Structure formats: structure tokens, C-alpha cells
Amino acid sequence: MRTHRLCERIAFIGLSEHLTYYYPLNPNQILTEADRCVKCGLCLPHCPTYRLTRDEGDSPRGRIALMQALASQVVESPNLHRHLDRCLGCLACQTACPSGVRYGMLIDAVRALAPARLSRLQRYRLSLLSRLPYFRASPAMLRLYQQSGLKGILRKIGGARFRRLDDLLPVWSKHPRLQPFYPADKPDNGRVALFTGCIGRITDQPALHASVRLLTRIGFEVVVPEQQSCCGALHQHNGQPGIAKQLAETNQRAFNRLELDAIVHVATGCGVQLLEYEATGQKLNAPVNDICTFLSSTGLLEKLHFSPLQRKVLIHHPCSSRRLPGAAAGVTGLLRQIPGIDLRALPETGCCGAAGSYLLMQPAMADRLRQPILEQVRQHGCNILVTGNTGCALHLAAGLKHLYPGIEVMHPVQLLLQQLPQPTAH
């Protein structure tokens, strides 16, 4: 494999310190890890659901107590699972825990103990979400749905849950199909692979194409493996670790057969899951990097000239980005290269409520968690809200569309490409 000094310089070092390790824990192992929690309560101010409900069952220490009861077979009831399922998995509690309790590992393991808590319909939806975007006909199906009148009919007869799902869909726009390979404009700084994600193949088309254009513009070849699959996060966090492992193995085969200097992703939620592959034996050979961090760290964008932007831009940092070293600084450093931009970070308000499939599984809680963020966006009077995670973008855009229309929601690389003049043809 060829190695480039530039990629060696920007590759992350010591990422294993930031990973959450997932093992197929049995009940005894769950109890052993849960016993590390001393119920001190220092996690409570950091838990979005506890701050919202003030219900001890919706707090990290309360949930750990319920996990202990479930693993010990002392308690088994729908109310127990209701509290566990209302956990967002944001892991703010894990960061704050002085005892180092690996809460993320616990909540995933406990959910895997009770797979029957998900109905057959819910399991089918998860499967569809992770597989449908890879069908070649998916973009055409979206266009047909939105432009044929079918959308109006189904919204009337589909009920509230269907209308909620429809609100999350992006408006169809024509984008060329991603190609397996893109040559660099100015060879040769290296070769990177682009991880598309599942839902992202439909919802993140502008960000994916922007990533390709920016990477090739600064001298990177871009490979988009056609055999890649969903990262597995949706299944891992919904009690289906077996399926998550199968998806990880598929991605390992797809990416490890290539000679790469890095694997870049546009969704921070996918990035966290990709970094956790090593813990389950599906290590990816190339460093995994968030696209904003990668672009910012190269230093090559400084050679480009971006058009001024006299607009107020607000940055939303997803919970998952806090688990990716340098992600927040990467976004800020990237966008500050646009002259005239009025760039501000959204104040810390907790999880927006998207949390993977949470916005579909727990719609009422997801909307309540989103509201303070929407209010902050309104108070700042921004023109553009940028965020680096697919679910957050969809969830926030759906809320803004109904309450405060006129505010654009986009990925940071979209905005960057928007301000990059196209090269003139010779």
C-alpha cells in the first residue's frame, strides 16, 4: 500500500482511547459492569431525558438499576423497557462518569437481551432503512413518489407516523449517480475512500458530491466502493448485534481490499460506528476520518480561493461528533476559510433527539428534545444551520420547516463547495 506523508500527518493517533467497546455480554458480564456505577448522580445534569422528565427511571443511574434488575431476572415489565428505550445513547453520561462506567456498552447489551421488545414491523423498518437506499431504483422511486401526486394521497391515508416519516424526506433533486472512482485534479496527494452510509445515499447526496469535488480538487483520488453497506449503528443500538456484525464484515471486505490512505465519512454517527469495528474484530486497515476534520487537517484548502459570504451561519455539533477527535474544530476551521462569514456555534443544549432511529421510535420525546435547539436557532437569527450528522440534519430541518421556514440546513462541505468558484475551462 502506498503511503503519503500528508496522510500520515493527518491520521489520528490513539483513537482506541476514545472508543466504546461492544462485546456480546452475557447477564453476568452486564452485572459486573453495572456494579461499577456507584449511583453518585453526577451524570444527572448531563442526561437530556432526565433533564426533560425529572423521572429517575429516565436517568443513567436509574436505567443502570433497571439493567441490573433485568439481568438478574428480578423485574421484567413493559415499563422497564419503556425507560431503557427512551435512552438516546448520546453518552453524555459516560463522559461525565467519574467511575468510568461504559454505559454505551451496557445499554446495547441489555437491549440485545430482549430482542422481542421490537415488533416485527419495527424490525422490518430497520431492515428497510439500512437496505433500501442501496437499490439502484431508490432515487427514481423518491422522484416518482414526490412528483406524481402519490405523496398527497399517502399523506392523507397513511396516518401520523407516515406523515412524520414523509416530513423527514429531502425534496428530490437531480444528482449524478456516484461513480466507483474519481481521479484527482492535481495528482498526487493520496487516495481516499468515501463511506456513503445507508440513509445518506439518499439524504446526503449534496454532501457526498461536495466531498468528492473538494477532495479531487486538492489532489486526492476518491474511491466509492460499490460493495459497501450500512455501518450497522441502527442495528447495534436496537438490540441486533448479530446483524451489525454482518454489516461490519461486509464493509471490512469492501474497504480492506483497496489500497487507501484514509476512509472518510460525511455522517458523524456512521463515523463513530466505523471506529468501533476494531473492538468486534472487523478492523479497517485505513484510518477513518470525518470529512471536515480530514479536509481541514490537510492544509491544502488554504490554497483555494473562496467567494465571500455575508450571511450568519450557526454550527450544530452532533453528540456523535464529540466522540470523534477534532471533529468540532475541523468544522470551524473549515468554514472560517470563507471570507466574510459570520460563524457562531450553537450553545450547548443537549441532544437534538434524532439519535439514529430514535426520532422514529420515540417521536414525542424526540420533538420535545428538539424544541430548545429550534428556539436557540430562532434567537440567533441565522440564515444557515450546518450540522455534520444525517439524522440531526433531517430532524432539525423538519422542525424548522414547520416553525421557522427560511433557514437552510446543510452539511458544512456543501456550504464550502457553494463558495468555491468552479475552475475555468481551457
Task: Delimit the domains of the chain by residue range.
Answer: 19-117, 305-418
The stretch 98-109 carries a mean pLDDT of 94
Sign of the Cα torsion 378, 383, 385, 390 reads positive
Name the CATH topology of 305-418.
Rossmann fold (3.40.50)
The stretch 381-392 carries a mean pLDDT of 92
- Residue type present at position 163: R
The residues, ordered by sequence, that sit 6+ positions from 364 with a Cβ below 8 Å of its Cβ are none
Entry pTM: 0.88
DSSP class of residue 319 equals G
Strands 181-182 and 220-223, by their bridges, are antiparallel
What is the number of H-type helices and E-type strands within the chain?
Answer: 22, 9
The pLDDT tens digits for 275-331 are: 999 888 899 999 999 999 999 989 898 888 899 999 999 999 999 988 888 888 889
Read off the pLDDT band of 153 (50, 70, 90): confident
Distance CA 352, CA 354 (A): 6
- Is 158 a residue whose pLDDT tops 80? no
The stretch 142-158 carries a mean pLDDT of 77
Question: Which value, in Å, is the radius of gyration of the alpha carbons in the chain?
Answer: 21
Residue 410, SS3 per DSSP: strand
Residue 335, SS3 per DSSP: helix
Q: What is the pLDDT of residue 421?
A: 85
Which among 58-67, 346-355, 376-385 has the top mean pLDDT? Answer: 58-67
Q: What is the pLDDT of residue 14?
A: 34
Q: What is the pLDDT of residue 405?
A: 84
Chain-centre distance for alpha carbon 42? 27
Question: How high is the mean pLDDT of the chain?
Answer: 86
The pLDDT tens digits for 13-46 are: 333 333 344 456 889 999 999 999 999 999 999 9
Provide the β-strand partners of residue 262.
Answer: 192
Architecture of domain 19-117: Orthogonal Bundle (1.10)
Residue 426 vs residue 379, higher pLDDT: 379
Q: What is the pLDDT of residue 115?
A: 77
